[in-house]
Amino acid sequence: MRVAVRGVGVVTMAVLAGCAGGPQLPTIRHGEPVAISVAMSPPADGRLGVRNEALGTGVSAGVGTGLVAGGLWGLVCGPLAVLCVPLGALTGAVTGSAAGAVIGVTGALADDKVAKLRDRLAVVARTHPLAAEIQDNVSTRALRYWPVNAGPGGTRVTIQLHDLRLMSTRDEQIRCAVSLTVSVEAGGRSASKDYSYLGGYSALSVWLDPASDFVDTSLTAASQQLAAQIVADLVSH
């Protein structure tokens, strides 16, 4: 029997957004027939991506520290400080980013744990495919406004699921990220918009627990929130 998990790990609000300042999707009039399809692009190497977030954090911190230290060093130039400070800051940033990268690499999740995460997601994907769930959630919401897949004609909405990956931190907190593109075709015209979802952190042990439905509920949260924003953008107000 599966055990539901609540309030485990670091509590972080999920981030969901379309591209700020990017193209807007055309709205669809109420009652207009809509055909919805979802497809998933397989990973280039056939494996679920697991990204080390500690690497990006380490580089950013190193650059910031290096800029300050390098700028202070430039002040010793006296009258030439106007030249030395920028040069020192640049040199410090380069040195700091290199040091930060080393720190980030040391925070990478061990290979055996990455393999276990991939295996766990593979097991869930067989009974809980994300593309199918996004299709179901978008269609369910869309039915409130339009007849869906009712026949030829009308507006075609195509959702291309580009990426499902996991992100890890130095202290083995894991979160999932999903990115997709929605394309709308109607009247000989088409438009596309990118969407992304970034979930909250939970401990590695929670993600790996076979008795828990945590992975299932995480994917459900991603699909529901993406579907809500997609349909909201398409509704004619």
CATH 3.40.50-classified regions of the chain = 15-52+110-234
Distances in Å between the alpha carbon of 81 and those of 85, 88, 92, 100? 5, 10, 15, 27
Contact 176, 166 (CB under 8 A): yes
pLDDT 10s digits, 96-145: 444 443 433 445 899 999 999 999 999 998 988 999 999 999 999 999 99
**In 37-166, where does DSSP find H-type helix?**
53-74, 81-106, 111-127, 130-142
**pLDDT tens-digit profile of 138-190?**
999 999 999 998 667 789 999 999 989 999 999 999 999 999 999 999 888 89
What is the residue whose two structure tokens read 């339009």?
Answer: 146
Reduce the DSSP state of residue 97 to 3 states and report it.
helix
Would you say the pTM of this structure is higher than 0.75?
Answer: no
- Looking at CATH, the fold of the domain delimited by 15-52+110-234 is given as Rossmann fold (3.40.50)
Query: What is the rounded CA–CA span in Å between residue 4 and residue 217?
Result: 9
Measure the N-to-C terminal CA separation of the chain; round to a whole number of Å: 45
Q: Which residues pair with 68 in a beta bridge?
A: none
